[in-house]
């Protein structure tokens, strides 16, 4: 069964169409359809319960590379681009916490990374793309086109992206100079975050989410020259284990805070950007029933404190809680999630729906928003309130495309 990364909710697809050649790609007559990249979205934005999926992993060709701009098919992954580009002195302008994401998925969710304060979202670096609509037309879109703004962050609902052109950035090699600093509470976090954003390209914090004082570890880094070794082979979680529970989360958080090495190091980019990729199929640790990710952005320090206090009060434990200050570079998509403020991402068990709903309320009351790429639960009211360009977007939808997420939040 085709799943999203959180394995929640389940979806039954009536058909799946593997795509092979961009020039021969057609939208089949089944309705509704939806592109499926690598299924690294957590909730239901890549699912189409009762409908069909267009699998893009066969659209895996590089088309051209010149002047630091790569043109490739939409199923090429970020990891494949890095393998090609880093030995040539280039890096992707924005990477998320996993490299197993397709170009189509990166554009459709207008993803962000640890350098949001410097580079903004992925969509800001897309120079051109081709969109195949269900009427058979192929549209070449560039920034400034209305349909481009709808497609970037458009959740796959404007048609099928067949290829895209991305402007890469120059780097001295595969090395990253990084350091880690512990913080004992939010005031320290705010100070370290401001100081680090001014001097480092990549900044992000891990939070011991169950600690009342909101302690954590702040990571920052920059591309650097130097010889570094690529990471060793990965391990795989072979079966569903259901190892994550209240007890193991509390123990993990306390131990992680204590044993993490602080100080500076020169290392390969892979573990710095993609630490979770070292364990393949780690989503099995939550068991068959899957899990929810709650990722929101809230506008300021006070709303962040309110949200984190509420997480502690609810005991909504998560081993990997990520905290990052977004910058103010404008996101290009009508439905892009990143906006100025603080973003927090926590994993919670799929049985903790009440906690999720409470956190949704807190985030939205403060003027925040939830991230569709991670979402399986937000209400239609939340979506309408936090995505003010929704009506403008609706006019540009492709009528053949829909998703489980869309039918839930925009019925």
Ligand X SMILES: Cc1cc2nc3c(=O)[nH]c(=O)nc-3n(C[C@H](O)[C@H](O)[C@H](O)COP(=O)(O)OP(=O)(O)OC[C@H]3O[C@@H](n4cnc5c(N)ncnc54)[C@H](O)[C@@H]3O)c2cc1C
Which of residues 17, 25, 33, 39 is near ligand X by CB under 6 A? 39
Q: Assess 331 for contact with ligand X (CB under 6 A).
A: no
Percentages helix, strand, coil for the chain (3-state, rounded to 5) are 30, 25, 45
- CA–CA distances in Å: residue 149 to residues 8, 219, 260: 29, 32, 41
Which of residues 79, 97, 319, 332 is near ligand X by CB under 6 A? 97
C-alpha neighbours within 13 Å on the C-beta side of residue 128: 9
Residues 134-193 that bind ligand X (CB under 6 A): 155-156, 160-161
Which of residues 98, 211, 357, 379 is near ligand X by CB under 6 A? 98
Which of residues 44, 81, 92, 102 is near ligand X by CB under 6 A? 102
Candidate ranges 24-32, 33-41, 176-184, 253-261; the one touching ligand X (CB under 6 A): 33-41
For residue 62 the two structure tokens come to 């590089």
Cβ closest to ligand X, residue 364 vs residue 373: 373
Tell me the pairing of strands 52-55 and 15-18. Answer: parallel
Q: Are 103 and 166 in contact (CB under 8 A)?
A: yes
φ/ψ of residue 81, rounded to 5: -65, -40
Which of residues 32, 37, 43, 333 is near ligand X by CB under 6 A? 37
Length of the chain: 411
Residues 209-238 that bind ligand X (CB under 6 A): none
Cβ closest to ligand X, residue 145 vs residue 309: 145
- Rounded to whole angstroms, the Cα distance separating 282 from 291 reads 12
In the complex, what is the shortest distance from the CB of residue 160 to ligand X, in angstroms, rounded to a whole number? 5
Closest by CA position to 381, among listed 390, 393, 373: 390
In the complex, what is the shortest distance from the CB of residue 401 to ligand X, in angstroms, rounded to a whole number? 8
Q: Assess 408 for contact with ligand X (CB under 6 A).
A: no
Number of residues binding to ligand X, judged by CB under 6 A? 33
Q: Which residues fall within 8 angstroms of residue 77, CB to CB, at 6 or more apart?
A: 38, 99, 100, 101, 102, 103
**Chain positions contacting ligand X, by CB under 6 A:** 5, 34-41, 45-46, 56, 74, 96-98, 101-102, 104-106, 108-109, 111-113, 155-156, 160-161, 276, 373, 403
């Amino acid at each position: 069964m085709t799943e999203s990364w959180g394995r929640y909710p389940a979806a039954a697809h009536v058909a799946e169409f593997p795509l092979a050649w961009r020039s021969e790609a057609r939208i089949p007559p089944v309705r509704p359809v939806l592109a499926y990249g690598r299924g690294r979205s957590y909730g239901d934005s890549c699912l189409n319960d009762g409908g069909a999926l267009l699998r893009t992993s066969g659209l895996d060709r590089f088309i051209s590379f010149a002047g630091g701009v790569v043109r490739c098919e939409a199923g090429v992954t970020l990891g494949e681009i890095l393998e090609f580009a880093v030995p040539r002195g280039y890096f992707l302008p924005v990477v998320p916490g996993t490299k197993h994401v397709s170009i189509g998925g990166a554009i459709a969710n207008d993803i962000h990374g640890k350098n949001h304060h410097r580079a903004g979202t992925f969509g800001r670096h897309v120079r051109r793309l081709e969109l195949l609509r269900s009427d058979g037309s192929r549209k070449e879109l560039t920034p400034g086109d209305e349909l481009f703004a709808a497609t970037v962050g458009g959740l796959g609902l404007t048609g099928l992206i067949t290829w895209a052109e991305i402007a890469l950035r120059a780097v001295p090699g595969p090395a990253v100079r990084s350091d880690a600093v512990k913080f004992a509470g939010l005031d320290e976090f705010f100070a370290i975050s401001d100081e680090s954003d001014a001097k480092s390209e990549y900044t992000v914090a891990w939070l011991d989410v169950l600690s009342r004082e909101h302690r954590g570890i702040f990571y920052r880094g920059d591309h650097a020259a130097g010889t570094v070794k690529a990471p060793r082979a990965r391990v795989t979680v072979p079966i569903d284990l259901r190892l994550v529970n209240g007890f193991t989360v509390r123990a993990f958080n306390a131990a992680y805070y204590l044993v993490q090495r602080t100080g500076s190091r020169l290392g390969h980019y892979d573990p710095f950007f993609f630490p979770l990729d070292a364990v393949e199929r780690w989503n099995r640790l939550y068991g068959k029933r899957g899990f929810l990710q709650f990722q929101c952005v809230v506008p300021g320090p006070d709303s962040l404190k309110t949200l984190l206090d509420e997480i502690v009060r609810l005991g909504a434990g998560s081993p990997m809680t990520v905290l990052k200050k977004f910058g103010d570079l404008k996101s290009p998509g009508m439905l892009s999630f990143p906006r100025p403020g603080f973003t927090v991402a926590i994993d919670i068990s799929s049985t903790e729906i009440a906690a999720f709903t409470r956190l949704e309320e807190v985030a939205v009351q403060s003027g925040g928003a939830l991230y569709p790429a991670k979402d399986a639960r937000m209400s239609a009211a939340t979506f309408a309130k936090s995505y003010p360009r929704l009506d403008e977007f609706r006019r540009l939808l492709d009528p053949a495309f829909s998703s489980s997420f869309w039918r839930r939040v925009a019925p």
